[in-house]
Amino acid sequence: MMSFIIYPAIDIRGGKCVRLIQGDYAQETIYHDSPVEAAKAWEAQGGEFIHLVDLDGAKAGHPVNDILIGEIARSVQVPVQVGGGIRTIDDVKHLLQLGVSRLILGTAAIEDRAFTEALLGQYGDKVAIGIDARNGYVATRGWLDTSEVQAEVLAKELAAKGAQTFIFTDISRDGMMQGPNIEAIRSLALASGQSVIASGGVTTQDDLVRLAAYADQGIGGAIVGKALYTGSVDLAQAIQALNAKA
């Protein structure tokens, strides 16, 4: 089995660690008052890579919680990746200077292809492409809009331009605790020929084991949010289980 990483998710809104249901800002649950302490806790349980989302930034179109993100990056020894509102080269440089290891482009990958391709050429593996799909089509602007671009088509095109990592979210599964759409994730990995991190729907440790079974086909990890905060997945136990099967 090839490498498979569990990414504990910290979604930041209003300076707190929250979760939304299907990206709906009106359906928010606050799980932790301090995203910094949440990051430290996930690292202490064995987390190898922290996934951060600036929800305010995704909606505003520019990073909003950047100071807090920098504080998180400095407070843990493991790398962090960040998505939400990254639209300009200044955003990219600023976040990298704050200590972020990998940036996630979502809306920009659809709306500003020249910028995305230039960024891939300049920063390579420091850039991941976030593909959030609703019924197979890419959603943008914090999932508020749905484009006419098919997820697999976008992945193929950007892989040809140097994208090495994709983060795929099936919006219909996000926050619903119904399990991930493994077939769609696997299909995107095979179509792009690159590593795909699954996001949305992971509910149990068994979901992670099933995803990791396709590591050799390009499913390189899974972002886990609500399941960790509700306790339906224990991070340390899940990591141990995956290591046992590796």
pTM: 0.91
| 11 catalytic per annotation | yes
Task: Determine the pLDDT at residue 1.
Answer: 42
pLDDT tens column, 77-110:
999 999 999 999 999 999 999 999 999 998 788 8
How many Cα neighbours within 13 Å face the side chain of 137? 7
| 66 catalytic per annotation | no
Residue 38: which of 83, 71, 82, 85 has the closest Cα?
Answer: 71
Residue 221: which of 168, 148, 170, 171 has the closest Cα?
Answer: 168
Residue 170: which of 208, 129, 192, 202 has the closest Cα?
Answer: 202
Task: Determine the pLDDT at residue 44.
Answer: 98
Task: Determine the pLDDT at residue 139.
Answer: 79
Instruction: List the catalytic residue out of 132, 170, 174, 207.
Output: 132
